[in-house]
């Protein structure tokens, strides 16, 4: 009953192993076992989107998965979007457009937008809005977040470097 399970996966490009109770959520595994506290918990019932991470490239809610389910998978969290000390173009645009205030929803917004732009590199404003509709933000009113994502897409399409790091 309730045997601990060994899992192996890639997190932010590194091999990771863990021994977990089956009921441990992926979000708690990342936060408590791997100390990746950038993944935030805002509701734990799959509505707010703060815990969004990338699973094999797709955005998913880390509160609605168990760590045992990601055995063998590739997970990227907000900490893994840019090299240490750098920002991606998307992150830099969030800063430039004041697309964050308290910062609590920001990791989930970034992971969601990161996956979205890969899938849909030339989005309309409407498509951006729909893409982040599963991520609640209580501070910004969303408008600057949409602006930041669109600006990133536009700059990339104008030949800007994809995901280039920017020094701190």
Report in angstroms how near the CB of residue 33 gets to another protein at its nearest.
12
The phi-psi region of residue 62 (left if phi > 0; otherwise alpha if psi is between -120 and 50; otherwise beta) is alpha
16 binds another protein (CB under 8 A): no
150 binds another protein (CB under 8 A): no
64 binds another protein (CB under 8 A): yes
Contact with another protein (CB under 8 A): which of 142, 152, 153, 163? 142
Q: Which is nearer to another protein, 36 or 156 (CB)?
A: 36
Q: Contact 50/41 with Cβ under 8 angstroms?
A: yes
To which residue do tokens 């030949």 refer? 159
160 binds another protein (CB under 8 A): no
Cβ–Cβ contacts within 10 Å for residue 167, how many? 6
E strand intervals along the chain? 5-11, 14-20, 52-55, 58-61, 74-76, 86-87, 166-167
155 binds another protein (CB under 8 A): no
Hey, which residues between 94 and 133 contact another protein (CB under 8 A)?
Answer: 94-96, 98, 100-107, 110, 112, 115-116, 129-133
9 binds another protein (CB under 8 A): no
Contact with another protein (CB under 8 A): which of 7, 11, 18, 40? 40
152 binds another protein (CB under 8 A): no
Q: How many residues sit close enough to another protein to count as binding (CB under 8 A)? A: 80
10 binds another protein (CB under 8 A): no
Distance separating alpha carbons of residues 163 and 92, to the nearest angstrom? 10
Q: Which tokens go with 26?
A: 């992926």
Q: Which tokens go with 159?
A: 């030949």
């Amino acid at each position: 009953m309730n045997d601990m399970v060994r899992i192996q996966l890639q997190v932010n490009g590194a091999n990771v192993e863990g021994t977990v109770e089956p009921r441990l959520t992926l979000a708690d595994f990342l936060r408590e076992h791997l100390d990746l506290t950038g993944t935030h918990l805002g509701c734990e019932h799959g509505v707010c989107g703060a815990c969004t991470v990338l699973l094999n490239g797709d955005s998913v809610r880390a509160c609605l998965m168990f760590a045992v389910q990601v055995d063998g998978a590739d997970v990227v969290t907000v900490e893994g979007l840019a090299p240490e000390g750098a920002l991606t173009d998307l992150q830099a645009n969030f800063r430039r457009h004041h697309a964050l205030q308290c910062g609590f929803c920001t990791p989930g917004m970034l992971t969601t937008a990161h996956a979205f732009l890969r899938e849909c590199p030339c989005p309309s404003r409407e498509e951006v809005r729909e893409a982040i509709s599963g991520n609640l933000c209580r501070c910004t009113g969303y408008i600057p977040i949409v602006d930041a994502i669109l600006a990133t897409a536009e700059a990339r399409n104008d030949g800007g470097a994809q995901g280039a790091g920017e020094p701190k």
